[in-house]
Amino acid sequence: MRILVLANASDDDAGFVGEALEARGAALVTVHRENPEPLPHHAGFDAIVALGSEWSVYWDHVQVEVEREATLLRDAVADDVPVLGLCFGGQILSHALGGSVERAPEPEIGWYAIESDVPDLIPHGPYVQWHSDRFVLPPGARELARSSVGPQAYTVGSAVGLQFHPEASPEVVRRWVTGGIDELTANGGTAAGFVAESDDRRTEARERAAQIVQAFLDGTLRS
């Protein structure tokens, strides 16, 4: 099983999601969004995972890269290739399928529980969140989970979009707080507190990520 992972060069660690995929026999092929080379064709992969990003889908200066990735995701879903979008990945997936992305009424940065309609497939959490944007569901999508800020999970065809970060291992969180300390503290968090909670929740977070990955691969999240 070959999985295409779309990521930024500075943040291409698939964390617990990558670990769960590899435990199920997947070979991960990571491609960086900034690379000007054409993206691989989706037909060469069994599934696609789009990771998070510091970008916003609507930023003018990354529109070439955004539209290139959106075209790949749109074509993959049209050909029934499973796609999993995480945070920015879920946002660009919504954009690709006719939804939109907008500024959230407030950021979610830290550990947050969600309200899941399918807790056996997507547990209530809590999960790492780090975003100031939110997706508006694409036409025909089924909302699977939400928070007070907006939708947290949806499915449409072969695609699943998540606003939270099931992949975020403590090692990933440590890198994020190093680069985003100003944003974290502006939201009332601390680097030490975020890292400590991530360490404490390592086992449960790994288990939730594995549960979501299994549901994604099984197709039980499909609309």
Q: Does the predicted model carry a pTM greater than 0.95?
A: yes
When the pLDDT of each residue in the chain is averaged and rounded to a whole number, the result is 96
Catalytic residue at 87? yes
Judge whether residue 93 has pLDDT over 80. Answer: yes
Within 8 A by CB and 6+ apart from 106, the residues are 149
In the set 87, 95, 108, 197, the catalytic residue is 87
Start-to-end C-alpha separation, the chain: 22
Within 8 A by CB and 6+ apart from 213, the residues are 17, 20, 21, 24
Catalytic residue at 37? no
Question: Each residue of 163-220: pLDDT tens digit?
Answer: 999 999 999 999 999 888 888 888 888 999 999 999 999 999 999 999 999 999 999 9
In the set 42, 95, 165, 197, the catalytic residue is 165
In the set 65, 69, 108, 167, the catalytic residue is 167
Report the CATH architecture of 2-218.
Answer: 3-Layer(aba) Sandwich (3.40)
